[in-house]
């Protein structure tokens, strides 16, 4: 007899960043189906779905509703860092856990969150160091006006200036805002070596379409001379962007056509968002299976198991060791340009050795 375990699914399926959220939803639901068909597992996962519709005001009450009105103690969901931070206090009060499957800006290690996608030492830092030697060290920074954009650009600014580069401009838009003409005008005037794009959803789509048009007007603003770099744009948004995505360079732990996600090498995922959410659910199922009452155990106890270590989840920070890939859109799909093996997460950027191929200054001991 399989134990029935309810888990929360908290993804927005409509709204300004719904394409990204839908990819995570697909990965989570596919994992639930596979778990329920897996004879090696003694549990049946029952999804409890809520749709915040990309409204920041709905995440906290809907998460609280799941934890209050059902037996679910684990919630897979949230897309933006804003929404993640909104639900954490409720998770703390209810003793719940959020499985967060989206790239994020780091500088967090909650006792009630497991982070299954990449943090800056696994996406932004490798991407910047890779770009410096190829394009130069002057950048223009864009971002959505919330913690993801602020923190990504703060880290980017620190890394660029430490490498003796220059930030020529830094501009933000509210989530969902598509008024990007002023950004394009400033980029045209400043002529950076590359752009770091930390916009999300419809804001990012409007920006990339406008930048593609700028490239048609001025050949300097094309991928071979002034590319757009991203740490959050994946295959799930390429159809929406069409030709405007051509030349975009992105960093992440997985791109379609690669050799699977950690622990699922034969699985073909549509994007890293889908893969990360699948990994979150399947890993959770492995931690709960063959262990009666594990669904009510504390997160520290679950992550102390050999199953969690095998999955690459650090019991101290709750972050996941992940490969680092850099890829460029060509012909409507991502082609991988550079790849490093699984890299331990360093959410507080405290260990230089956790940045692959970073060129740190040589220090000389002076007596």
Express each pLDDT in 133-190 by its tens digit.
Answer: 999 999 999 999 999 999 999 999 999 999 999 999 999 999 999 999 999 999 999 9
Q: CA dist 292 to 1, 288, 307, Å? A: 12, 8, 16
104 shares its domain with 164: no
In a domain, 366, yes or no: no
In a domain, 248, yes or no: yes
In a domain, 77, yes or no: yes
190 shares its domain with 338: yes
By CB neighbour count within 10 A (0-12 exposed, 13-18 middle, 19+ buried), where does 48 fall? middle
In a domain, 56, yes or no: yes
181 shares its domain with 327: yes
| Closest listed residue to residue 6, CA positions, set 64, 76, 94 | 76
CB under 8 Å to 154, separation ≥6 — which residues? none
Joined together, the tokens standing for residue 256 give 């379609």
In a domain, 53, yes or no: yes
Report pTM: 0.94
274 shares its domain with 127: no
Mean pLDDT within 93-118 = 97
List, for residues 28-70, the tens digit of each pLDDT value. 999 999 999 999 999 999 999 999 999 999 999 999 999 999 9
Q: What is the pLDDT of residue 363?
A: 43
| Confidence label for 264 from pLDDT (cuts 50, 70 and 90) | low
In a domain, 277, yes or no: yes
E-strand stretches of 236-302? 249-252
275 shares its domain with 160: no
In a domain, 362, yes or no: no
* CATH number, residue 79: 3.40.50.2300
76 shares its domain with 196: no
| Closest listed residue to residue 20, CA positions, set 77, 60, 93, 72 | 77
154 shares its domain with 278: no
**CA-derived radius of gyration, the chain:** 20
228 shares its domain with 169: yes
CB 139 within 8 A of CB 132: no
In a domain, 317, yes or no: yes
Poorest-confidence range of 34-43, 140-149, 238-247, 292-301? Answer: 292-301
Which residue range(s) make up the domain with 298?
3-118+260-322
Q: Per this entry, what is the length of the chain?
A: 367
Joined together, the tokens standing for residue 59 give 């995440």
Tally of domains in the chain: 2
93 shares its domain with 216: no
């Amino acid at each position: 007899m399989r134990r029935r375990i309810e888990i929360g699914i908290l993804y927005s399926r409509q709204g300004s960043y719904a394409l990204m959220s839908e990819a995570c939803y697909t990965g989570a639901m596919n994992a639930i189906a596979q778990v329920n068909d897996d004879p090696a597992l003694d549990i049946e996962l029952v999804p409890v779905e809520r749709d915040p519709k990309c409204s920041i005001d709905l995440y906290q009450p809907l998460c609280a509703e799941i934890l209050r009105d059902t037996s679910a103690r684990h919630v897979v969901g949230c897309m933006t860092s804003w929404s993640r931070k909104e639900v954490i206090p409720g998770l703390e009060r209810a003793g719940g856990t959020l499985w967060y499957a989206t790239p994020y800006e780091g500088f967090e290690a909650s006792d009630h969150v497991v982070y299954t996608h990449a943090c800056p030492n696994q996406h932004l830092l490798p991407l910047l160091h890779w770009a410096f030697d190829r394009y130069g060290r002057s950048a223009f920074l864009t971002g959505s006006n919330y913690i993801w954009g602020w923190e990504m650009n703060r880290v980017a600014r620190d890394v660029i200036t430490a490498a003796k580069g220059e930030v020529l401009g830094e501009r933000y838009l509210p989530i969902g805002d598509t008024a990007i003409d002023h950004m394009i005008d400033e980029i045209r005037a400043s002529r950076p070596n590359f752009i770091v794009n930390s916009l999300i959803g419809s804001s990012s789509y409007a920006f990339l379409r406008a930048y593609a048009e700028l490239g048609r007007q001025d050949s300097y603003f094309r991928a071979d001379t002034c590319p757009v770099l991203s740490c959050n744009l994946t295959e799930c948004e390429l159809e929406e962007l069409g030709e405007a995505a051509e030349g975009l360079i992105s960093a992440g732990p997985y791109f379609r056509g690669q050799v699977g996600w950690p622990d699922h090498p034969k699985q073909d995922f549509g994007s890293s968002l889908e893969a990360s959410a699948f990994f979150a659910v399947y890993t959770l199922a492995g931690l709960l299976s063959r262990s009666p009452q594990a669904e009510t155990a504390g997160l520290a106890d679950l992550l102390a198991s050999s199953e969690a270590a095998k999955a690459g989840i650090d019991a101290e920070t709750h972050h996941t060791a992940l490969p680092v890939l850099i890829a460029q859109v060509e012909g409507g799909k991502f082609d991988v340009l550079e790849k490093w093996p699984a890299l331990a997460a360093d959410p507080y950027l405290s260990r230089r050795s956790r940045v692959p191929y970073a060129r740190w200054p040589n220090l000389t001991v002076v007596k």
